[in-house]
Structure 1
């Protein structure tokens, strides 16, 4: 299949805009996902009109997919974890073309997982965890047990991913296999939730109690990135945070995360007078006792 695709990727490799060309082949009895295609041709470019451009090909009862992605899109996927199979592709791919060792350096960086990159990913994962946990607990208290179950499953998954990142690794598609080895306590909670013979209400009650301890023990680590950014100013309006480049990825989870950190006394409220009598701007700052 590689020979058949050669004219396609050679044309791309000759363009100065192309940073790298990688080939991912489907292998039997592996967890590597190629979306049912026999070959994935991954082409990374500096810039393009579309951040992601995909073409499908057929040859001799085989099928291939060409994914052209921009450097910025790849960076976003790696940071936010919104396309988890990209880690598998980069790890297993055969490098066909590599301009100025861009791909080689990228793979080295992924393997070493620098601490600053970990801190950002832990912050984003922690924000998702808090969102799911808080929403799930509210549903549980309103006796909406099936919806609460859905949220607690997701919160455990974010907790598992957080534990994997904390241990200096990237969460893979098989995150529970990783967690079983490095954080068996979280794995056992997941097993209890799914396999226990107790009523759904009893299982959820147990899980919320246990999760609360595990989340609390990771609060300082999970909020380190956000606290670091907020410490650069005396106080912040919410919209200022939403416009801050490094905080934009927190998106819809930011408001819930702030309230959680206020409850844990890591952040505090600052009320700033407005022109309206008795109405204040609600601002946020790190707890002065932490500095």
Structure 2
């Protein structure tokens, strides 16, 4: 297979902007991870006309897709999990070309999953979890049980992903059968939600209670990234100050929900600061020690 695509990727490898090229071959007949292409060629460059450019190829009965991606965008995908299949390509792909061991070091970084990256991923997933849980609870109380069921299912997915991240793995390359081994409790909740003979209303009600307990269990560890940012100054922070902090940019959309949860659980405390308006106060937040 390498010989077939060699002329295509060698042209890219000769470019001084190219950091690395790897190949990932389809492993199953139906392969969402490759969009059903037989081969994925991932080309990482320092700079290009477009941050992400894709070309499709065919050779006899074989198909390939070449993704030319700027390094900055690739790092964003990795940090935000916004294009999850790229994890599979990098971790299990074969290096065809690299400059200064770029791809090898990238593979090593993903496999090691450094603590800072892990804390950021935990915070992002925890923020999604608090959002889904809050919306599920609201839908349940409004008697929209099927919509609440959907949000509860999303919450369980986040719980499973949190369990995987805590163990030092990227959840992008692990599915429910791995969650069953890593965290049987979360897997059991998932089974109860989808297989129980109880009414949808009762299943959602039980899951909301279970998710609330799990949220509390994971709260301080998963919010450590945010709590560490708040602790950096030793002072209280306004929501606006936190929202524009560069470290929090990747989960800023769910920041309000995660702060609301941490205040409710007394992990954060609120400081009232006077304004020019009578009996109107600014809310600021600090970690409750």
* Band of TM-score, shorter chain: over 0.9
Q: Does the 8 Å CA contact 2:30/2:36 hold for their aligned counterparts?
A: no
Matched, 1:237 2:232: no
The answer for the alignment partner of 1:62 in structure 2 is 62
Matched, 1:221 2:239: no
The answer for the alignment partner of 2:282 in structure 1 is 281
- Counterpart CA distance in 1 for 2:270 and 2:28 is 56
The answer for the alignment partner of 2:43 in structure 1 is 43
What secondary structure is seen at the aligned counterpart in 2 of 1:217?
helix
RMSD between aligned alpha carbons? 1.6
- Structure 1 residue 174, shift from structure 2 partner: 4.1
- Structure 1 residue 49, shift from structure 2 partner: 3.8
- Counterpart CA distance in 1 for 2:41 and 2:49 is 19
The answer for the alignment partner of 2:101 in structure 1 is 101
The answer for the alignment partner of 2:153 in structure 1 is 153
- Counterpart CA distance in 1 for 2:21 and 2:242 is 37
- Structure 1 residue 85, shift from structure 2 partner: 1.1
**Cα distance 1:23–1:265, how it changes in 2: closer, same or farther (>3 A)?**
same
Which segment is superposed worse, 149-158 or 57-66?
A: 57-66
Q: Does the 8 Å CA contact 1:23/1:95 hold for their aligned counterparts?
A: yes
- CA deviation vs aligned residue, 1:197-240 (integer Å, no higher than 9, x gap): 11001111111111111111111101111000111121222222
Q: Does the 8 Å CA contact 2:22/2:93 hold for their aligned counterparts?
A: yes
Which segment is superposed worse, 23-32 or 35-44?
A: 23-32
- Structure 1 residue 48, shift from structure 2 partner: 2.7
Count residues with an aligned counterpart.
288
- CA deviation vs aligned residue, 1:151-176 (integer Å, no higher than 9, x gap): 00000000000000001111134421
The answer for the alignment partner of 1:122 in structure 2 is 122
Poorly superposed stretches of 4+, deviation over 6 Å = 29-32
- CA deviation vs aligned residue, 1:224-266 (integer Å, no higher than 9, x gap): 1100011112122222212111101112110010000001111
- Structure 1 residue 103, shift from structure 2 partner: 0.7
What secondary structure is seen at the aligned counterpart in 2 of 1:83?
coil
What secondary structure is seen at the aligned counterpart in 2 of 1:97?
strand
- Counterpart CA distance in 2 for 1:23 and 1:211 is 40
**Cα distance 1:118–1:95, how it changes in 2: closer, same or farther (>3 A)?**
same
Which segment is superposed worse, 210-219 or 48-57?
A: 48-57
Q: Does the 8 Å CA contact 1:48/1:70 hold for their aligned counterparts?
A: yes
- Counterpart CA distance in 2 for 1:259 and 1:125 is 16
What secondary structure is seen at the aligned counterpart in 1 of 2:193?
helix
TM-score (norm 1): 0.94
Matched, 1:260 2:265: no
Which segment is superposed worse, 199-208 or 110-119?
A: 110-119
Note the 1:66-105 alignment, pairs <5 A: 66-105=66-105
Q: Does the 8 Å CA contact 2:91/2:111 hold for their aligned counterparts?
A: no
- CA deviation vs aligned residue, 1:93-129 (integer Å, no higher than 9, x gap): 1100011001101111111111221111111111111
- Counterpart CA distance in 1 for 2:284 and 2:113 is 34
- Counterpart CA distance in 1 for 2:284 and 2:194 is 41
**Cα distance 1:87–1:139, how it changes in 2: closer, same or farther (>3 A)?**
same
- Counterpart CA distance in 1 for 2:49 and 2:218 is 41
What secondary structure is seen at the aligned counterpart in 2 of 1:74?
helix
- Structure 1 residue 31, shift from structure 2 partner: 6.6
Structure 2's unaligned 5+ residue stretches are none
